[in-house]
Amino acid sequence: MSVVLPPSLVTFSCHQPITQKHSSLSILKSFSAPDHASLRKNDLKNATNSGCKSLIRASGATISSVTVEKDVTDGTLFVIRAKDKRGFLDVIARVLKGVKIEKPTIQFDEEEDCFVIKFLVTDLNGNRIEDEESLIKIENALTEAIDGGVVLMKPGFVAGKSKTDRMFELMDGFLKNDPDSLQKDILHHVEYTVARSRFSFDDFEAYQALSLSVRDRLIERWHDTQQYFKKKDPKRLYFLSLEFLMGNVINLGIRDQCAEALSQLGFEYEVLAEQEGDAALGNGGLARLSACQMDSLATLDYPAWGYGLRYQYGLFRQIILDGFQHEQPDYWLNFGNPWEIERVHVSYPVKFYGTVKEDTVNGKKCKVWIPGETVEAVAYDNPIPGYGTRNTINLRLWAAKPSDGYDIESYNTGDYINAIVNRQKAETISNVLYPDDRTYQGKELRLKQQYFFVSASLQDIVRRFKDVHGNFDDFPDKVALQLNDTHPSISIAELMRVLLDEEHLSWKKSWHILKQVFSFTTHTVLPEALEKVPIDLFQNVLPRHLQIIYEINFAFMEELKRKIGQDYVRLSRMSIVEEGAVKNIRVANLSIVCSHTVNGVSRAHYELLKTRVFKDFYELWPEKFQYKTNGVTQRRWIVVSNPSLCALISKWLGTESWIRDIDILTRLREHASNSDLQKEWMMVKKINKQRLAEYIETMSGVKVSLDAMFDVQVKRIHEYKRQLLNILGVIHRYDCIKNMEKTEREKVVPRVCIIGGKAPPGYEIAKKIIKLCHAVAETINNDDDVGDLLKLVFIPDYNVSVAELVIPGSDLSQHISTAGHEASGTGSMKFLMNGCLLLATADGSTNEIIEEIGEENMFIFGAKINEIPALREKDSSNNAPLQFVRVVRMVRDGYFGFKDYFKLLCDTVENGKDFYLLGSDFASYLEAQFHGDACWQNGMLGNT
């Protein structure tokens, strides 16, 4: 009788069952540990051919062997020889998942003085496994399990059993993913964690119990992954970012089982999913990029950790009252976060202020920082699973808590009020994403927030390194630190301080280590937008770090003088310290000087870095600069946000492999002209538009036609992203419709124009743009002459969950930033994935998208990057087309009300102040819109 084995307790096996469609590659993945290139290449290179012996070290005590014999009628025969037979069959059952094991036997070989365990292995269809790579993987999996000390016994735990064996007995395998097992776990959490009766609990409590049940399964994988990394000791990647916008967990592959389990309990999976609020851990594209980065690192089996801040309130919740934006704290943690794990025992002191003194350690002079304030950083872990792998990495977020010293001192003196104030002051550090830095207090809080984040992260990283290594010479071989933009750049000075002041390494050795571990990704396109920190602020908050930065800069300037001579203008531009009326630290310059790689986020961005943003540095170190175009994961932006399209794609491709390898999507081109595919595709689009239309009506009261083109621009509100250009285009369309005869209106393509995004609290022009959108919408949506031919809708508090409704339901998406101002732009990729066409300028990653899909499949308009400087010199607003002058005049004259309020907004695009070239690009923009209308009428855009 064949046995279908349970998941491995030791290896990292694929969660997907092996079906007849799966290749031998899928089979071997079922047995593989995380396939890190640096670890597995040597395994495959050194592995013996099938039929030869592979040595196994079992806890260093005895030597066993695994032999494979393929020439067997009923399957592939595995023979294991070991000094001790106890626990072997359990190990085999745990390791070999997704195959059949038949005819196991155990005999004792007196001649070799060992036990011989034999068993046959086939796939689930009864076929022999013959390819060499799969067999090697199986051998390696068994080797890993036995080598981990699972087999041989150590006396002294329970009746002579080892602690490891006892733990395995108590665990009794992985948690099962069938509906019955999930139901039991859900009800267990309802009763014992949520503390509700299993006979009476609501949707939110069911959501909490389901999340905790899924988290339990994540924790199993997380523990296995960390144990594997600890044993293999690979070089680890640490991704440092102040923003993350993580999504739901989909990579476990158990959504259908969860849905069935809930259905039998009387709940709907989709209803419970709506109970989950978005984690307020980021702002926009940067945060979603970081989330996709973590997903991909886990899926590709990298030994990676993410580090960030656990914001209490995040950015802000956008409230629209009478068309005006108001900000409210986003209390996203009020009802808890079931996905996170608080690590109260993982905390580190973070210091601020104080003085620096000299001391002598081992006969050498060193600096000692005596802080004036100490705050505790407490860790909260969020497991991040990979897709198609058991690899589960970690996102560790830090929350600020008061140091015990403050409270004890205050309580001892009876100053309870001061204790409370200190507590509130400490917790403020991790309260809000990007504190308003228009004041000194705001700048100070932002600097403290950045340092708090990197100090805690580096203490954790160094601690983990020292657990295994006693020599910092190995640090560059085991640690890679990726700085996501300039926010974590203070980690450079912090690591130098740790090496110099705490580990007491020499400056030369510390500097040698430092230059090998940091890589820097910048998202900035304008030199004037690069982050700077006033020196007096730095001196006050981080006095020791300022000294270190001065020393780094002095060494860099001396090196630079030897290379370029006494060019003081260039030396001044490249210096980390900016001289002037207000002296500043240029943190981007610090990052470039101390990193081995500087990364742009698109090819266009890379060219801007070379020629404008970091021109001097590129000429000095061209080998440092590279680019990796930003991307997004299809697992989040198709599988989760558009399940109907996901099913359609899998059906026509005949595989779900594209969920892991997106290049497989190119095979859809073979079916592009198939009328059945087109009909099914449009049915999916119609369903998604229906969902979006229902949301719009619920949210705004505006009923929109599904026969209209859904024209969408959703992103952070900013002048360079040119939402104002979009609104002026809507006004032009409205003006044209109003002046048409009735017969002409019958030819008009109906549009639903959707705009969404948040304006930074202190950004007055951005807030005026939001108000203008509402004022124009109020006029258009209530005009009976226009009816369904044109609607304008603003979506408030745009976030990831709303994006999952908007993006799949869109027909046309606008990405219309002034060329040269968008570093990359991942939003366009999400819309494209969902079958939405783009109306865009040739900016950021759009240029590479053009190369992939062809300009004929996009609506490109506007000036190119190289044309922008000349246009600004010509004062484009004075040469704007008449259509542009007319629509701006309508706003200025109060056609949509609020005449005085919009005056400043109109001034930004007239009278020689049109910096973002709305007037210059307006005619081209209208032409691209006309082209979109024509394609829609011809059935080429989505209305077939």
DSSP string over 47-66 = PPPTTS-EEEEETTTEEEEE
**Residue 62's beta-bridge partner residues?**
58
Q: What CA–CA distances, in Å, run from 4 to 18, 99, 136?
A: 11, 6, 21
35-44, 758-767, 854-863: range with lowest mean pLDDT: 35-44
Nearest alpha-carbon partner for 483 in 446, 521, 455:
521
Q: Residue 3: is its pLDDT beyond 60?
A: no
Nearest alpha-carbon partner for 809 in 942, 710, 699:
710
In-domain check, residue 888: yes
pLDDT at residue 568 in the model: 93
In-domain check, residue 58: no
Instruction: Please check whether residues 691 and 619 belong to one and the same domain.
Output: no
pLDDT at residue 131 in the model: 76
Residue of 263 and 168 predicted with greater confidence? 263
In-domain check, residue 218: no
pLDDT at residue 77 in the model: 84
Which amino acid, 424?
Answer: Q
Strands (E), 487-534: 518-521, 532-534
In-domain check, residue 14: no
CATH number at residue 608: 3.40.50.2000
Where does a domain end: 118, 147, 176? 147
Instruction: Please check whether residues 610 and 677 belong to one and the same domain.
Output: no
Which amino acid, 201?
Answer: F
* % of the chain with per-residue pLDDT over 90: 61
Nearest alpha-carbon partner for 275 in 336, 217, 208:
208
Instruction: Please check whether residues 678 and 623 belong to one and the same domain.
Output: no
Residue of 101 and 722 predicted with greater confidence? 722
pLDDT at residue 26 in the model: 31
Q: Report the C-alpha gap between 700 and 71 in whole angstroms.
A: 71
**Residue 394's beta-bridge partner residues?**
305, 383
| 275: phi then psi, degrees, rounded to nearest 5 | -75, -20
pLDDT at residue 687 in the model: 96
pLDDT at residue 664 in the model: 93
Residues with Cβ within 8 Å of 930's Cβ and at least 6 positions away in sequence, in order, are none
Residues with Cβ within 8 Å of 456's Cβ and at least 6 positions away in sequence, in order, are 307, 348, 350, 377, 379, 398
Where does a domain end: 99, 129, 147? 147
Helix (H) or strand (E) holding 6, with range, is: none
Instruction: Please check whether residues 618 and 737 belong to one and the same domain.
Output: no
pLDDT at residue 432 in the model: 84
pLDDT at residue 256 in the model: 86
Interstrand relation of 304-309 and 236-240 (parallel, antiparallel or unpaired): parallel
Instruction: Please check whether residues 241 and 303 belong to one and the same domain.
Output: yes
Find the radius of gyration of the CA atoms of the chain. Answer: 31
Token pair of 21 as six digits: 């469609």
Instruction: Please check whether residues 683 and 621 belong to one and the same domain.
Output: no
75-79, 242-246, 324-328, 882-886: range with lowest mean pLDDT: 242-246
Token pair of 708 as six digits: 């209209």
pLDDT-based confidence at residue 924 (cuts at 50, 70, 90): very high
**Residue 398's beta-bridge partner residues?**
309, 379
pLDDT in tens, 702-749: 999 999 999 999 999 999 999 999 999 999 999 999 999 989 999 999
What's the whole-number mean pLDDT along residues 690-713?
Answer: 96
Residue of 801 and 87 predicted with greater confidence? 801
pLDDT at residue 413 in the model: 59
The CB-based long-range contact list for 895-899 (8 Å cut-off, 24+ gap) reads 895/779, 896/772, 896/775, 896/776, 896/778, 896/779, 897/775, 897/778, 898/771, 898/775
The CB-based long-range contact list for 654-658 (8 Å cut-off, 24+ gap) reads 654/21, 655/21, 658/634
Q: Report the C-alpha gap between 684 and 646 in whole angstroms.
A: 10
Instruction: Please check whether residues 378 and 491 belong to one and the same domain.
Output: yes
Q: Give the domain range for residue 806.
A: 673-938
Instruction: Please check whether residues 693 and 834 belong to one and the same domain.
Output: yes
DSSP string over 312-338 = SSBS-EEEEETTEEEEE---TTTT--T
Q: Report residue 450 CA to chain centroid gap.
A: 19
What's the whole-number mean pLDDT along residues 148-163?
Answer: 42
Residue of 562 and 28 predicted with greater confidence? 562
Nearest alpha-carbon partner for 366 in 499, 546, 510, 504:
504
CATH number at residue 89: 3.30.70.260
Q: Report the C-alpha gap between 247 and 282 in whole angstroms.
A: 12
Give the chain's mean pLDDT: 84
Residue of 227 and 921 predicted with greater confidence? 921
In-domain check, residue 227: no
What's the whole-number mean pLDDT along residues 810-821?
Answer: 96
46-55, 330-339, 438-447, 935-944: range with lowest mean pLDDT: 46-55
pLDDT at residue 619 in the model: 96
Instruction: Please check whether residues 601 and 712 belong to one and the same domain.
Output: no
Angle between helices 764-781 and 899-907 (to 10 degrees): 120
pLDDT-based confidence at residue 136 (cuts at 50, 70, 90): confident
Q: Report residue 798 CA to chain centroid gap.
A: 18
Q: Report the C-alpha gap between 694 and 711 in whole angstroms.
A: 16
Helix/strand/coil for 512: helix
In-domain check, residue 28: no
859 contacts 932 by C-beta, under 8 angstroms: yes
Q: 678: exposed, middle or buried (C-beta count within 10 Å: 0-12, 13-18, 19+)?
A: middle
CA dihedral 578, 579, 580, 586 (to 10 degrees): 10
Where does a domain end: 147, 178, 213? 147
Token pair of 378 as six digits: 């407490």
Helix/strand/coil for 673: coil
Q: Residue 234: is its pLDDT beyond 70?
A: yes
231-240, 266-275, 461-470, 553-562: range with lowest mean pLDDT: 266-275
pLDDT-based confidence at residue 94 (cuts at 50, 70, 90): low
What's the whole-number mean pLDDT along residues 153-166?
Answer: 45
pLDDT in tens, 287-332: 778 888 899 999 999 999 999 999 988 788 999 999 999 999 888 8
Instruction: Please check whether residues 746 and 611 belong to one and the same domain.
Output: no
pLDDT at residue 20 in the model: 30
Q: How many domains does the chain have?
A: 3
Q: Report the C-alpha gap between 404 and 542 in whole angstroms.
A: 21
237-246, 284-293, 451-460: range with lowest mean pLDDT: 284-293
Token pair of 771 as six digits: 């108000």
750 contacts 705 by C-beta, under 8 angstroms: yes
294 contacts 393 by C-beta, under 8 angstroms: yes
Q: Residue 149: is its pLDDT beyond 50?
A: no
Token pair of 362 as six digits: 């081992």
In-domain check, residue 265: no
Strands (E), 455-605: 479-484, 518-521, 532-534, 577-578, 584-586, 597-600
Q: Report the C-alpha gap between 303 and 472 in whole angstroms.
A: 20
Q: Report the C-alpha gap between 723 and 776 in whole angstroms.
A: 13
Instruction: Please check whether residues 766 and 863 belong to one and the same domain.
Output: yes
Q: Which residues are catalytic?
A: 523, 715-716, 721, 826, 830
Q: Report the C-alpha gap between 704 and 754 in whole angstroms.
A: 11
pLDDT at residue 800 in the model: 86
Q: Residue 44: is its pLDDT beyond 50?
A: no
Q: pTM of the entire structure? A: 0.80
In-domain check, residue 46: no
186 contacts 261 by C-beta, under 8 angstroms: yes
| 205: phi then psi, degrees, rounded to nearest 5 | -70, -35
Instruction: Please check whether residues 103 and 243 belong to one and the same domain.
Output: no
Residues with Cβ within 8 Å of 528's Cβ and at least 6 positions away in sequence, in order, are none
Q: Report the C-alpha gap between 8 and 763 in whole angstroms.
A: 54
pLDDT in tens, 611-653: 999 999 999 999 999 999 988 889 889 998 999 999 999 999 9
Token pair of 46 as six digits: 């050194």
